[in-house]
Structure 1
């Protein structure tokens, strides 16, 4: 008697319906999309905050307090841009170069989840 006849055939559960059908690759693609969306949203928020500070500076009418607040917004936006850049470079260096689980493609980041073969 075969083991399949006794216990039946074990089939793996279906994976996520993202990407090529392989659950591991689909999860990697989902995480890669999340990284791309996070970076895009962070950049957009930084740009909006920078423009907000510039608008406040223009509309300050020479009032010292309003100019100081506008300069603070612009400074914080630039610091945010530097932080986004450092995080992106650090993530690419750590996960891409050292661990080899992320590769940067023209479409964005692609996460390769390690599996046991």
Structure 2
């Protein structure tokens, strides 16, 4: 057993409660206490958390920005048989090229027929 006794700490008026955590507030004459204007001049007006009067990192943490994914250079297209059999093929083509059309074998009618790229519907 240890000989350390724990006693309740005396109330301290310099403790400020924020979001369930105890933080020590700097006294008015402390060199660590800086004004809002001093922080803006040091960090710059582009820092939104400083402009709103929050502490250096903001109350709500970092703002998350949504990353926009780049479009792929190739797309998958569906080539539909013009024999109207319902048979189709899928192929990959460059995004910048013209729509595909080609003669390919259709196993339902058992001959080569024209396949055209289907129109893409909106999502």
Tell whether the structures are fold-level matches, with TM greater than 0.5: no
By percentage of residues, which structure has more helix?
1
More strand by share: 2
Aligning the two structures, in what range does the TM-score lie when normalised by the shorter sequence? under 0.3
TM (norm. structure 2) is 0.22
In our comparison, the structure showing a higher alpha carbon Rg is 2
Q: Give the TM-score normalised by the residue count of structure 1.
A: 0.23
